A and B are shown apart, each in its own frame.
Chain A
Amino acid sequence: MLREGEIRIPSGCAISGIFSKSGKRISGEAIIKSIATMHDRSNGLGGGFAAYGIYPEYKDYYAFHIFYDGNISKRECEEFLERHFDIINLSKIPTRKTQGITDVPLIWRYFVTPLSTKLSDSQLDEKEFVARCVMKINTKIDGAYVFSSGKNMGVFKAVGYPEDVGEFYRLSEYEGYCWTAHGRYPTNTPGWWGGAHPFALLDYSVVHNGEISSYDANRRTIEMYGYKCTLQTDTEAITYIIDYLNRRIGLNLEEISSVVAAPFWQVIDRMPKEEKEKHTYLRNAFPSLLITGPFSILVGFDGGMMALNDRLKLRSMVVGEKDDMVYIASEECAIRVIEQNLDKVWSPQGGEAVIVTLNGGAK
């Protein structure tokens, strides 16, 4: 059977996110409970979480989470890391034997910072250097796969139901100000863990529910900018698009949402002059990064979270607020199960970005 990446596998999904605007760190228990409520939206073939603010003691270092098929790929990858990075700390990621989580690869965590000589030789800025190293490991080192590479954040994912994945990674022992979760319903067996979500690059992580019809248009465009879509999943392409538009082009998240889930021309035509010009410009300048077909995504980033639906809202997504907490999920029940008394509940419109950030800015 082909591994994910060798074939493209469409999936249905559940997503959920929790965000504390005050930066209060909460354990992983709530998010597991939330995503478990939507058990039937996944089929046991993929689950995962992204957590922000979980490594305060190493917040200045890139935290690499890496899957290895075996010790040979581990050795090769570690040699690569040593050539390019100062490794501050390395360890196995603690896990717990869990029924329902099998075929476990080696899972290691490294806190690293680029070697200054290597970085200056590369003539790249630091993030670009790190991104390229990640890309290189994932495409060139057989059996090694970096699935998390941001600072003070981490992705935890596996093949299984999301609640089992949370249990497996002992997420109740981590505390973060932002959690996102994903339960996957792929139509094929993915064959390995890399295909589970969230998908992440640097500080960006994306959980996604949908199957985008623009995939190959998006993929072929983003690959032109140096990204390599090794998994052939929508989520991977969306993550790269957001990274490209935000970090490399310099669009803010609202502008990005106007690119990827652009308003229809009939809406733009009715806008006031300045808005109309802005949206016309964005659609004209970045046409191939428009995403069509159903999606609801949660984008985690340093100090914030964005939720976005496709322009027709072909996937459900609900937002709930209580005090400084913001909850976003595929279904309202996944919010109610962890917070009964919400101040406010609503469904964002198609293409309407919901962006929440820490009150005090990024941490």
Chain B
Amino acid sequence: MGINFLYPEYEVIRNMDKCINCRVCERQCANEVHTYDEERKIMCSDDALCVNCHRCVSLCPTRALKIVKSDHTFKENANWSNRAITEIYKQSESGGVLLSSMGNPKDYPVYFDKILINASQVTNPSIDPLREPMETKVFLGSKPKKIERDKDGNLINNLSAGIELAMPIMFSAMSYGSISYNAHESLARAAKEVGILYNTGEGGLHKDFYQYGSNTIVQVASGRFGVHKDYLEAGAAIEIKMGQGAKPGIGGHLPGAKIVGDISKTRMVPKGSDAISPAPHHDIYSIEDLRQLVYSLKEATDYKKPVIVKIAAVHNVAAIASGIARSGADIIAIDGFRGGTGAAPTRIRDNVGIPIELALASVDQRLRDEGIRDNVSIVIGGSIRNSGDIIKAVALGADAVYIGTAALIALGCHLCRSCHTGKCNWGIATQRPELVKRLNPNVGYKRLVNLVRAWNHEIKEMMGGMGINSIESLKGNRLMLRGVGLNEKELQILGIKHAGE
């Protein structure tokens, strides 16, 4: 094995007293970790193949399995970590770019965890959401700068096309191809059930899902895969994807091996050929070009669909957002550097972009400083992990949030971060039929509904505690937040005070 042998990061521990040789683990593992030794009549495992997805652990009927982090280590070195060394071995062997999946796992600050939420005491009452109405309905879209009246003096509805959400949550873009048919069906049905939207990603819209059009955001990305007139008209909104938090500045690559059957048809890409999304849109090299695409899409859909422009949170995000807010876009979606992905170069995922909390705070403030905050709504993602994050995001200035990773976890994802291998044992990030069928959309959609409903309950509880009975009054209400352990500069960018102030 020599120099390239890497001791496995995780070890499969099997309690032989409990194992009954039922071979469920063997059948469930697409990575082929488990094998049955006919001679010795025992189950064996190859730790090197294990991605730590817990499929075998979850299905073992006798609870004989667990996965533990290996204590095998290089000589300790604060600079040369195990990871740094093993990555060099890998690259010097392959000559390739390292690939990873899901969001940036590294130890950068999570600002949401350094922000605390207010509650009412004495001077104004908290409100009990079980006894009083507590409103979380949100409208996304640009707001009129003036009112108009008809000849009788009645107000005319001069709002441009927008989105109505029962709660400030949407499922973020995940393409059919990067995730499975059953995962898409679960997202679509859940969105419809709770009155929110899901997003096709750049993989087109399967014909079976046109029925969920009023709960669908159709995405137009740099590859323009699956984009045609019916597609644009099928959704409730159109999203132009300029960037993604996990891999700002680069495109996407769905290998030909995954362009099979319906995916080929839906993407409008020949079977077996790679689907490569260029890094930029080749018709958008500047902000004025973006404006043209925004209006092309609006013309194509008769101004009946709001247009979202999605960007990755990068250093100059406030200025970029300001340009977008003047481009005719109705909604800006900003994806933070912790946003998930089905596959991204590891170095980019781990080193490019900025935290969404800071990006959101600076964008919201910049748009207000320029008096154009009403031109657009702001949706943020990357990463929202719970309802507390949502409250904080809204109070910092977001109109709504996108959840991707959280939705996948609800569907069974165990964050093993191996999506790019296409062998998702949970039937989510795979196209292998025998794996896809493991995700039952009847169960999956219900779990998603449960998750967002639970979060909405929690949002209402926290709003009630603050004495706020409608989400509009939370938006941009930064006095409801305090920082802990943040320095002056961070507080200034977030526009919040320190706890105790």
Give A contacts to B, CB under 8 Å.
8, 10-12, 187, 210-218, 220-221, 223-225, 249-251, 255, 262, 264-266, 274, 277-278, 281-288, 290-294, 311-312, 314
B73 at the A interface (CB under 8 A): no
Contact A216 B478 (CB under 8 A): yes
Contact B143 A281 (CB under 8 A): no
Stretch of B154-162, B288-296, B414-422 that contacts chain A: B154-162
Contact A293 B124 (CB under 8 A): yes
Contact B124 A10 (CB under 8 A): yes
Given A251-B147, A291-B473, decide whether A213 and B468 contact each other with a Cβ distance below 8 A: yes
5 tightest A-B CB contacts, nearest first: A214-B473, A216-B479, A213-B467, A287-B472, A217-B477
Given A211-B124, A312-B132, A314-B125, decide whether A217 and B467 contact each other with a Cβ distance below 8 A: no
> Which residues of chain B (355-399) have a CB below 8 Å from chain A?
368, 371, 373-374
> Which residues of chain B (435-478) have a CB below 8 Å from chain A?
466-470, 472-478
Q: Which residues of A contact B139 (CB under 8 A)?
A: 283-284, 287
A-B residue pairs in contact (CB < 8 Å), sample of 19: A10-B123, A10-B124, A187-B123, A213-B480, A214-B473, A215-B477, A216-B478, A218-B473, A221-B476, A224-B368, A249-B146, A265-B133, A265-B137, A266-B133, A287-B475, A292-B467, A292-B470, A294-B467, A312-B127
Q: Which residues of B contact A293 (CB under 8 A)?
A: 120, 124, 467-468, 473
Q: Which residues of A contact B143 (CB under 8 A)?
A: 284-287
Give B contacts to A, CB under 8 Å.
120, 123-125, 127, 132-133, 135, 137, 139, 143-144, 146-147, 154-155, 157, 159, 162, 368, 371, 373-374, 466-470, 472-480
Q: Which residues of A contact B159 (CB under 8 A)?
A: 281, 284-285
Which of A218, A274, A294 has the most B CB atoms < 10 Å from its CB?
Answer: A294
Which of A8, A10, A293 has the most B CB atoms < 10 Å from its CB?
Answer: A293
Q: How far is the CA of A220 from the CA of B480 in the complex (A)?
A: 13
Given A266-B133, A284-B162, decide whether A216 and B477 contact each other with a Cβ distance below 8 A: yes
Q: How far is the CA of A291 from the CA of B144 in the complex (A)?
A: 20
Contact A281 B468 (CB under 8 A): no
Which residue of the partner chain B has the closest CB to A263?
Answer: B133
Q: How far is the CA of A283 from the CA of B475 in the complex (A)?
A: 14
Q: Which residues of B contact A216 (CB under 8 A)?
A: 476-480
Q: How far is the CA of A218 from the CA of B479 in the complex (A)?
A: 11
Contact A292 B469 (CB under 8 A): yes
Q: Which residues of A contact B124 (CB under 8 A)?
A: 10, 210-213, 293-294, 314
Contact A217 B476 (CB under 8 A): yes
Q: How far is the CA of A83 from the CA of B154 in the complex (A)?
A: 42
Q: Which residues of B contact A286 (CB under 8 A)?
A: 143
Q: How far is the CA of A282 from the CA of B139 in the complex (A)?
A: 12
Contact B473 A290 (CB under 8 A): yes
Given A287-B472, A293-B467, decide whether A220 and B368 contact each other with a Cβ distance below 8 A: yes
Contact A224 B371 (CB under 8 A): yes
Q: Which residues of A contact B478 (CB under 8 A)?
A: 216, 220
Given A281-B157, A285-B159, decide whether A225 and B371 contact each other with a Cβ distance below 8 A: yes
The distance from the CB of B501 to the nearest CB of chain A, in whole angstroms, is 9
Supplied contacts A213-B473, A251-B147, A265-B133, 15 more A-B pairs, CB within 8 Å:
A10-B124, A213-B468, A213-B477, A214-B474, A215-B479, A217-B476, A220-B368, A224-B368, A225-B371, A249-B147, A264-B133, A281-B157, A287-B139, A293-B124, A294-B124
Contact of A220 among B123, B469, B476 (CB under 8 A): B476
Given A278-B154, A287-B139, A287-B475, decide whether A211 and B368 contact each other with a Cβ distance below 8 A: no
Which residue of the partner chain A has the closest CB to B146?
Answer: A249
Contact A262 B371 (CB under 8 A): no
Which residue of the partner chain A has the closest CB to B127?
Answer: A312
Q: Which residues of A contact B157 (CB under 8 A)?
A: 277, 281
Contact of B469 among A211, A283, A311 (CB under 8 A): A311
Q: Which residues of B contact A251 (CB under 8 A)?
A: 147
Contact A288 B476 (CB under 8 A): yes
The distance from the CB of A294 to the nearest CB of chain B, in whole angstroms, is 5
Q: How far is the CA of A350 from the CA of B374 in the complex (A)?
A: 28
The distance from the CB of A359 to the nearest CB of chain B, in whole angstroms, is 21
Which residue of the partner chain A has the closest CB to B120?
Answer: A213
The distance from the CB of B154 to the nearest CB of chain A, in whole angstroms, is 7
The distance from the CB of B392 to the nearest CB of chain A, in whole angstroms, is 14
The distance from the CB of A125 to the nearest CB of chain B, in whole angstroms, is 15
Q: How far is the CA of A290 from the CA of B474 in the complex (A)?
A: 10
The distance from the CB of B238 to the nearest CB of chain A, in whole angstroms, is 20
Contact of A211 among B123, B144, B472 (CB under 8 A): B123
The distance from the CB of A313 to the nearest CB of chain B, in whole angstroms, is 11
Which of B124, B157, B474 has the most A CB atoms < 10 Å from its CB?
Answer: B124
Which residue of the partner chain A has the closest CB to B479?
Answer: A216
Q: How far is the CA of A274 from the CA of B152 in the complex (A)?
A: 13
Q: How far is the CA of A277 from the CA of B146 in the complex (A)?
A: 17
Given A265-B137, A293-B468, decide whether A224 and B373 contact each other with a Cβ distance below 8 A: yes
Which residue of the partner chain A has the closest CB to B399?
Answer: A287
The distance from the CB of B379 to the nearest CB of chain A, in whole angstroms, is 15
Q: How far is the CA of A8 from the CA of B118 in the complex (A)?
A: 15
Q: How far is the CA of A36 from the CA of B139 in the complex (A)?
A: 46
Q: Which residues of B contact A277 (CB under 8 A)?
A: 157
Q: How far is the CA of A68 from the CA of B368 in the complex (A)?
A: 32
Q: How far is the CA of A312 from the CA of B468 in the complex (A)?
A: 11
Q: How far is the CA of A253 from the CA of B319 in the complex (A)?
A: 38
Q: How far is the CA of A284 from the CA of B143 in the complex (A)?
A: 8
The distance from the CB of A159 to the nearest CB of chain B, in whole angstroms, is 19
Which of B135, B368, B373, B480 has the most A CB atoms < 10 Å from its CB?
Answer: B135
Contact B472 A217 (CB under 8 A): yes
Q: How far is the CA of A225 from the CA of B373 in the complex (A)?
A: 10
Contact of B466 among A213, A224, A255, A282 (CB under 8 A): A213
The distance from the CB of A361 to the nearest CB of chain B, in whole angstroms, is 17
